[in-house]
Amino acid sequence: MVIHYNLDNFNASNAVFTIGSFDGVHLGHQKVIAEIIKYAHQINGESVLLVFWPHPREILSPLGKNIRLLQTIDERISALEQTGIDHLIVFPFTLEFSKLNACSFIENIVYQKIKAKHFFIGFNQRFGSDRIWSPDILQECAGVWNIRIHQLSELLHQSVNISSTQIRDHLFKGEVRLASQLLGYKYNIKGKVVKGRQLGRKLGFPTANISLNDSVKIIPADGVYVIEGKVAQKYHQGMMNIGIRPTINGVDKTLEAHFFDFDGDIYDKNIEICFVDRLRNEMKFNNLKELQDQLHKDKEKARQKFNKNYQILISPDSYKGTLNSLDAAQIIEQALKKSLNNRVRTVIAPLADGGEGSIDILKHHLPDLHKIHVKVRDALMHEISTYYFADLISDTAFIEIAKVIGLNKLSPLEQNPLFTSSYGVGQLITDALKKMFGTIVLFTGGSSTNDAALGILKALGAEISGEFEGEIPTGFELEKVRKISNIPSLKARLIIAGDVDNPFTGPEGAVRTYAFQKGATEKSDLEVLENGMQNIQNIIYKQFGIDLNKVKGAGAAGGIAGTMHAVFKSEIINGADFIFKLTQFDKKFENIDLIITGEGSIDWQTMNAKLISRLKTLIQNSNIPIWAIAGHCLDTKKMKILLDLNHVSTLSNNELEKQKAMMRPDKLLFEHVSTEIFRLIHQITI
Residue-wise pLDDT tens digits, 463-476: 999 999 889 999 99
273 & 388 share domain: no
Classify strands 493-498 and 571-574 as parallel, antiparallel or unpaired: parallel
Structure confidence at residue 569 (pLDDT): 94
Q: What's 152's domain CATH number?
A: 3.40.50.620
- Give domain status of residue 566, yes or no: yes
Structure confidence at residue 155 (pLDDT): 43
CA separation for the pair 225, 227 (Å, rounded):
6
For the cut 70, the answer to whether the pLDDT of residue 64 exceeds it is no
Please tell me the chain's helix, strand, coil percentages from 3-state DSSP, rounded to the nearest 5: 40, 25, 40
For 448-517, where are the E strands, in sequence order? 463-466, 481-485, 493-498
Query: For the packed helices 611-618 and 575-582, what is the interaxial angle rounded to 10 degrees?
Result: 50
Are 487 and 462 in contact by the 8 Å Cβ rule? The answer is: yes
For the cut 90, the answer to whether the pLDDT of residue 659 exceeds it is no
Choice among 75, 228, 256, 356 that is catalytic: 256
CA separation for the pair 499, 553 (Å, rounded):
8
Q: What's 246's domain CATH number?
A: 2.40.30.30
- Give domain status of residue 585, yes or no: no
Structure confidence at residue 157 (pLDDT): 47
Which of 121, 146, 162 marks a domain boundary? Answer: 162
52 & 134 share domain: yes
- Give domain status of residue 587, yes or no: no
> Which CA distances in Å does 96 have to 175, 240, 247?
37, 43, 50
Buried b (16+ CB within 10 A) or exposed e, 531-546: ebbbbbbebbeeebeb
414 & 460 share domain: yes
Angle (CA) 28 30 35, round 5°: 100
CA separation for the pair 531, 513 (Å, rounded):
15
Which of 162, 180, 207 marks a domain boundary? Answer: 162
- Give domain status of residue 582, yes or no: no
Dihedral sign, CA of 419, 425, 427, 430? negative
- Give domain status of residue 408, yes or no: yes
3-state class (DSSP) for residue 400: strand
Note the pLDDT tens digit of each residue in 211-241.
998 888 999 999 999 999 988 888 899 999 9
599 & 666 share domain: yes
Range ranked top by mean pLDDT from 144-148, 521-525, 532-536, 640-644: 532-536
For the cut 70, the answer to whether the pLDDT of residue 162 exceeds it is yes
For the cut 60, the answer to whether the pLDDT of residue 271 exceeds it is yes
655 & 620 share domain: yes
CA separation for the pair 158, 152 (Å, rounded):
10
Range ranked top by mean pLDDT from 17-31, 178-192, 413-427: 413-427
Note the pLDDT tens digit of each residue in 179-206.
998 998 999 999 999 987 777 777 888 8
3-state class (DSSP) for residue 1: coil
Mean pLDDT (the chain) is: 91
94 & 201 share domain: no
63 & 152 share domain: yes
Q: Which amino acid is at 205?
A: F
* Annotation says 400 is catalytic: no
Classify strands 223-231 and 208-212 as parallel, antiparallel or unpaired: unpaired
Q: Which amino acid is at 531?
A: N
198 & 285 share domain: yes
CA separation for the pair 500, 270 (Å, rounded):
49
- Give domain status of residue 463, yes or no: yes
415 & 485 share domain: yes
537 & 640 share domain: no
For the cut 60, the answer to whether the pLDDT of residue 566 exceeds it is yes
512 & 618 share domain: no
CA separation for the pair 600, 324 (Å, rounded):
10
Are 647 and 680 in contact by the 8 Å Cβ rule? The answer is: yes
3-state class (DSSP) for residue 184: coil
CA separation for the pair 9, 6 (Å, rounded):
9
423 & 547 share domain: yes
Q: What's 452's domain CATH number?
A: 3.90.1510.10
- Give domain status of residue 584, yes or no: no
Non-local (6+) Cβ contacts of 1 within 8 A are 80, 81, 84, 85, 86, 87, 88
CA separation for the pair 42, 608 (Å, rounded):
13
Which domain, by its residues, includes 189? 166-305
Please state the domain count of the chain.
Answer: 4
Q: What's 628's domain CATH number?
A: 3.40.50.10350
End-to-end C-alpha distance for the chain, whole angstroms = 29
- Give domain status of residue 290, yes or no: yes
Query: For the packed helices 655-663 and 665-683, what is the interaxial angle rounded to 10 degrees?
Result: 110
